[in-house]
Amino acid sequence: MRKYYDLQLRRLNDELTEMGALIETAIEYATDALLNKKIEKAQKVKGYEKEIDQKEKDIESLCIKLILHQQPVARDLRQISAALKMITDMERVGDQAEDLSELAVLLADVPVQMSTQHIAKMAQASAKMVTAGVDAFVKRDVNLAVSVCESDDVVDNLFNIVRSDLIDLIRKDAKAGSSALDLLMAAKYYERIGDHAVNIAEWVIFSITGTHTSQTEKNADGLDFSDMLENLPDQ
């Protein structure tokens, strides 16, 4: 019985790893489309997002079967419960990648009037956080999970830099306001991805230690541009 259960847990790890790889590719394609105007990449993201959605359903089904048939307790139950929580955030990251690809199409014919290096760094950092969160679950690595939480400061700081750059751009050229807000939206999506990665990492920590540190868990679904709007020049 335990041997079968261990095999199913390895399958769970494999499924999570595959879902993480799909997410990483979706973010990579969406970013390439956004920053390098490669619209063919944007069109492929929707297909990846559908695969991510299906992975979520497959993993959810596997977890429910394990709970019903194996009736796990203590650490085993925490591990499965954490996986169920993680895939919700992972699926939402897939949604963010699709949103980014749609922005890429919208901005395809709009010249970018500022450096996108900080947005590129946000994309790289946030995608790495998601992948590291999944790796931490598979390897049962608390330290790696903690490092994911700490990396969120990097993404947040990059967002603040991008926001400041965009405010300066609009002050210099009010006509750039529309495209600037679209780029800010893109940066916010990457920040959301980082927030979801933190949630994933915290569930990893819970699965290993039994403690969920909600002090760093974030609502990764809200958008608030009020502080930027307050700094826009008068028309």
- Dump pLDDT digits (tens) for 126-159: 999 999 999 999 999 999 999 999 999 999 999 9
Is the pLDDT score of 52 beyond 50?
A: yes
Going by pLDDT thresholds of 50, 70 and 90, the confidence category of residue 35 is very high
Residue 147 contacts by C-beta under 8 Å, 6 or more apart in sequence? Answer: 132
Q: Would the CA dihedral through 12, 92, 46, 124 be positive or negative? A: negative
Q: What single DSSP character describes residue 221?
A: T
Predicted confidence at residue 216, as pLDDT, reads 43
Query: 229: pLDDT confidence band, cut at 50, 70 and 90?
Result: very low
pLDDT band, residue 194 (cuts 50/70/90): very high
- Would you state the structure tokens that stand for residue 60, as one six-digit string? 């959810």
Residues in contact with 176: Cβ distance below 8 Å, sequence separation at least 6, in sequence order: 113, 169, 170
Tell me phi and psi for residue 107, to 5 degrees. -100, 10
Structural domains of the chain, with CATH: 2-229 (1.20.58.220)
Average pLDDT, rounded, for the chain: 89
Share of the chain above pLDDT 90, in %: 71
**Range 174-194 average pLDDT:** 90
Higher pLDDT, 75 or 192: 192
Q: How far is CA 91 from CA 66, 143, 211, in A?
A: 21, 24, 24
